[in-house]
A and B are shown apart, each in its own frame.
Chain A
Amino acid sequence: MTLSALRVAIIVFPGSNCDRDMMVAIEQLTSRRPALVWHKEASLDPADLVIIPGGFSFGDYLRCGALAGRSPIMNAVLDHAARGGAVMGICNGFQVLTETGMVPGVLIRNAGLKFTCRNVRLQLCETLSSPFTAGLAMGEDLTIPVAHNEGNYFADDDELDRLEGNGQVAFRYVNGDAVGPANPNGASRDIAGVLSNNGRVLGMMPHPERAMSKLHGGTDGATFLLKSLEALVS
């Protein structure tokens, strides 16, 4: 299979606002436009990757991602994941994944109690086998922006130990400086992204679709997405 044969579906909730950005990013890498799937749909055409994009689904007026997690389309996404299908949730999408239990843990209010939009440095962790980490070189840092108010990853110590032991922690925040501490939100053990226990579902706070070109100030998002897509092709 080639990259252009890859079928990517992006779920759109009312209040999603990074759906177009992700569509453009994927199309840039695969030359094929992903399908945008409205949340009221009850079924999902076969897909090699389902992406839940960033934004403020349902305004985030209730717990972030709580209402979106109960939209009709999510049953189809859960089925897709249960069959071993790949799912990526970015930012609000990560919150939807934790709300539906597709990845462990919860995302609570940033420790600084403020929305934060800036670049962070991510370190790839040693993980279980996963298309989202397979192509990346260990020790390589990625610079990718975050933009969120509730990105503070939380789980109790036993759970965190278990996740680390299983290789389910995909990315950590690292290498801060005076104006930008490494961890932008107080996340437990600096966790920026986690995997499901089969490695097929990834939730992460940073926005790779915003680091796709020199004009964005960096291409590490493109590197990450491309490696993931290539792993899904092979």
Chain B
Amino acid sequence: MNAASDVMTFENAAAMGLSRDEWALINQRLGRTPNLCELGIFSAMWSEHCSYKSSKKWLKTLPIDGPQVIEGPGENAGAVDIGDGLAAIFKIESHNHPSFIEPYQGAATGVGGILRDVFTMGARPVALLNALRFGEASHVKTRHLVGGVVSGIGGYGNCIGIPTVGGEVNFDKSYNGNILVNAMAVGLANSDRIFRSAATGPGNPVIYVGAKTGRDGIHGATMASAEFSDETESKRPTVQVGDPFTGKLLMEACLELMASDSVLSIQDMGAAGLTSSSVEMASKGGLGMEIDLDLVPAREEDMSAYELMLSESQERMLMVLRPDATETARAIFNKWDLDFMPIGRVTETGRLILLKDGGTACDIPIGPLVDDAPEYDRPHGDAPVRVQLPSADIASDAPISTVLKSLLGDVNLASRRWIYEQYDSQVMADTVAGPGGDAALIRVHGSKRGLAMSTDCTPRYVEADPKTGGAQAVAEAYRNLSAIGATPLAITNNLNFGNPEKPEIMTQLVESVLGMGEAARHLDTPVVSGNVSLYNETDGKAIQPCPVIGMVGVIEDVDHAAGNRFVADGEDIFVVGQSDIVNDGWLGASVYQQLHGDQAIYAPPPVNLDAELKNGSFVREQILGGSISAAHDISDGGLAVAIAEMAIRSGFGADITVPQAGQLHGWAFGEDQARFVVTTANHSALISAAKDAGVEITKIGKVSASGELKFGASDAISVSELGVVFEATIPALMAG
């Protein structure tokens, strides 16, 4: 087939997800009608996934600067300075649509893709995290999807040998037909050895390395930019297949090559494969590129120009090398048994020229592909106003321990052990705190310094009030890092929403980005990388909005980090944060409300960024100063759940003093923000430090060796009984 001779029509463009206006614009920019290959390239580059056309306007409002930022959004991943001449390089990315269609491969390639983004920058990946959302536990597909996704994440991460150290998993019926699989990777590099993607030096060779190109994943980026329907299952062939072994070889070969001075620029072939890598490298360098498609290592015969350019086969990279380094580089890739093929050169033309079968398969200007990509200011409105749920309207007078037991067995609060034990969380032997903590903590290899990280979002808050929910996700991540004693540095975000062409969805996106930006500014955690996943809808119904935050921070000495389990009998237990909530603990939009089957949407707990900053800093400083022995942030399920988790993880009990008056369930299960449970062996030092810092703290009890959790004189439950309930739910769900 000679693709150049194909004459495309608007119908072809529409089938690739392009609008009539976009089709007209392509024709105008080219001054002619595109052929199949060219149209495919435009449709991929202008897809929501690659162009951010609906979100760009709002992403620009996010804070991206700070003295700690080495590389902000726009490269393969973001980079921050963590001291000692080192940079943490990280990004989160979604693989939602493929994972719903084929959960194992979808999740596995999500992990593989985000790892490539990180090692493309010259960083050795050191940790993986994820954020997963599944449909309700009773839904017919949930078990299959959970099993497949978890095993796919493990299948890639375990094999390539990067520990999966943290993440979050939630269940809600809005994800029944559209799960979310967001994977985050964190790597380490020397700050002065970071690699970027801008092509340089006309005439320099363009090298293809890694796995061969097959017909898998063709037009995946476009699929990821459309809603789901009943026919989605027929898109199974557009799901890529992961090969973590080749991924490992590619990672080692690239890092070995990058240790020399051979690589001028490098870009992984992720979404839209050879198309986006070649176009982005040329565009960032302000140059052009000429590629001979007959030289591309192909896995299958007779692949057309269109197929070669749009394939999303995994484990591939495009590099521009110093001309004299080609043989050095070839030897390294030969050692690792990987394809290494010069397929073209950098040009000064500003055009993407593709040769195939002795002819020209594509000749288009690069500018319009990137710079003229549409940018939409989609209509949006005001977020709905929600009323506050008075706690007296919902709270019962059941004993705290009874409600606590139900909450700990709820699928959204129960132990995730069944999931995280399928991930190798320890390979590389630098994991200090793996899954199950507030934040994960790994040691920077060969030093005392630690990297802390967490992924967070509470979609029911975002649905109720997107601005508050957007801010809350940042605040919760900030608390999680503070609770182990780490200083938060920066964030990556993954914005998962429905169809942005609907004003109510666009409102969610706009408002939550504004809330996120405000929080990131206030807490000094700029956004250095991210990903947007829109059209998360099935048959017209959108998911609960889920703007996930992945945060990275640093601790000077991992020996000083705190855990979230009680450590010693007799230690005092305090709540850090607002203490005058005895009468009206915030039960609206809480897990407690969900447990009561109340489907109404109430206002979520307000986020007070001054309090988050002050209380988080206080907890961090007191951990590092030695006055706090354990800390746990108060989030889903409120104070009682936080205390119970600290007890279950340690085996210790606790004697808790309950308020004499007021609404007990609001006090125990309210999800008021900016709070922590902490323990101390030195309560006078803690109290005086809190006074100096102007931080509210309240003593609520003592750690005990009784093995019982006691709320006041007459309400007690054994910690091991709570532990059994906490551990049983997910295994029971998965056993079917």
Q: Are A21 and B428 interface neighbours, CB within 8 A?
A: yes
A14 to B429, CA, bound (A): 19
Within 8 A of A (CB), among B401-459: 417, 420-429, 431-432, 443
Q: A residues within 8 A CB of B58? A: none
Residue B243 at the chain A interface, CB threshold 8 Å: yes
Within 8 A of B (CB), among A1-60: 14-15, 17-18, 20-21, 24-25, 54-56, 58-60
Given contacts A118-B421, A147-B426, contact A215 B245 (CB under 8 A): no
Of A81-89, A157-165, A192-200, A206-214, the one touching chain B: A206-214
Residue A114 at the chain B interface, CB threshold 8 Å: yes
Q: Are A115 and B154 interface neighbours, CB within 8 A?
A: yes
User: Which residue of the partner chain A has the closest CB to B157?
Assistant: A115
Residue A116 at the chain B interface, CB threshold 8 Å: yes
Q: Are A15 and B245 interface neighbours, CB within 8 A?
A: yes
Given contacts A14-B336, A115-B424, contact A179 B245 (CB under 8 A): no
Residue A216 at the chain B interface, CB threshold 8 Å: yes
Given contacts A14-B337, A215-B558, contact A115 B248 (CB under 8 A): no
Q: Give the distance to chain B from A180, nearest Cβ to Cβ, in Å.
A: 9
Given contacts A20-B428, A178-B724, A178-B727, contact A114 B422 (CB under 8 A): yes
Q: B residues within 8 A CB of A17? A: 159-161, 248, 427
Q: Give the distance to chain B from A187, nearest Cβ to Cβ, in Å.
A: 17
Q: B residues within 8 A CB of A118? A: 421
Q: A residues within 8 A CB of B432? A: 215
Mark contacts of B41-70 with chain A using CB atoms, 8 A cut-off: 1 yes-contact digit, 0 otherwise: 000000000000000000000000000000
Given contacts A18-B427, A179-B727, contact A117 B161 (CB under 8 A): no
Q: B residues within 8 A CB of A15? A: 159, 245, 248-249
Q: Are B245 and A55 interface neighbours, CB within 8 A?
A: no
Residue B158 at the chain A interface, CB threshold 8 Å: yes
Q: Are B429 and A179 interface neighbours, CB within 8 A?
A: no
Q: A residues within 8 A CB of B427? A: 17-18, 21, 54, 147, 210
User: Which residue of the partner chain B has the closest CB to A113?
Assistant: B151
Mark contacts of B147-177 with chain A using CB atoms, 8 A cut-off: 1 yes-contact digit, 0 otherwise: 0000100110011110000000000000000
Q: Are A117 and B159 interface neighbours, CB within 8 A?
A: no
A21 to B432, CA, bound (A): 14
Q: Are B421 and A25 interface neighbours, CB within 8 A?
A: no
Interface residues of A: mostly helix, strand, loop or mixed?
A: mixed
A148 to B558, CA, bound (A): 27
Q: Give the distance to chain A from B325, nearest Cβ to Cβ, in Å.
A: 22
Q: Are A147 and B158 interface neighbours, CB within 8 A?
A: yes
A116 to B723, CA, bound (A): 20
A58 to B420, CA, bound (A): 25
Q: Are B161 and A18 interface neighbours, CB within 8 A?
A: yes
Interface residues contributed by chain B, number (CB under 8 Å):
34
Residue B270 at the chain A interface, CB threshold 8 Å: no
Q: Are B426 and A14 interface neighbours, CB within 8 A?
A: no
Residue B244 at the chain A interface, CB threshold 8 Å: yes
Q: A residues within 8 A CB of B431? A: 216
A207 to B158, CA, bound (A): 14
Q: Give the distance to chain B from A68, nearest Cβ to Cβ, in Å.
A: 12
Query: A61's contact among B245, B249, B425, B426, by CB below 8 Å, is which?
Result: B245
Q: Are B244 and A115 interface neighbours, CB within 8 A?
A: no
Within 8 A of A (CB), among B220-252: 243-246, 248-249
Given contacts A15-B245, A17-B160, A215-B558, contact A145 B422 (CB under 8 A): no
Q: Are B429 and A21 interface neighbours, CB within 8 A?
A: yes
User: Which residue of the partner chain A has the closest CB to B150?
Assistant: A114
User: Which residue of the partner chain B has the closest CB to A179?
Assistant: B727
Q: B residues within 8 A CB of A115? A: 151, 154-155, 158, 422-424
Q: B residues within 8 A CB of A18? A: 161, 427, 429
User: Which residue of the partner chain A has the closest CB to B442?
Assistant: A215
Q: Give the distance to chain A from B169, nearest Cβ to Cβ, in Å.
A: 16
Q: B residues within 8 A CB of A178? A: 723-724, 727
Q: A residues within 8 A CB of B425? A: 117
Given contacts A115-B424, A116-B421, A215-B558, contact A24 B249 (CB under 8 A): no
Q: Are A116 and B249 interface neighbours, CB within 8 A?
A: no
Q: A residues within 8 A CB of B422? A: 114-117
Q: Are B336 and A117 interface neighbours, CB within 8 A?
A: no
Q: Are A56 and B421 interface neighbours, CB within 8 A?
A: no
Q: Are B245 and A56 interface neighbours, CB within 8 A?
A: yes
Q: B residues within 8 A CB of A215? A: 432, 443, 558-559
Q: Are B429 and A147 interface neighbours, CB within 8 A?
A: no
Q: Give the distance to chain A from B130, nearest Cβ to Cβ, in Å.
A: 15
Q: Are A117 and B428 interface neighbours, CB within 8 A?
A: no
Q: Give the distance to chain B from A86, nearest Cβ to Cβ, in Å.
A: 22
Q: Give the distance to chain A from B433, nearest Cβ to Cβ, in Å.
A: 9
18 sample A-B contacts, Cβ–Cβ < 8 Å, listed by A number? A17-B161, A20-B428, A56-B159, A58-B245, A59-B243, A60-B245, A115-B151, A115-B422, A115-B423, A116-B422, A117-B422, A117-B426, A145-B426, A147-B158, A147-B424, A147-B426, A215-B432, A215-B559
* A20-B428, A56-B161 given; 15 more Cβ-contact pairs under 8 Å: A54-B427, A59-B159, A59-B246, A114-B422, A117-B158, A117-B421, A117-B422, A147-B426, A178-B724, A207-B426, A210-B426, A212-B429, A215-B559, A216-B429, A216-B431
Sort A-B residue pairs by CB-CB distance and give the 8 closest, nearest first: A17-B161, A59-B245, A21-B429, A56-B159, A147-B424, A115-B422, A210-B426, A117-B424
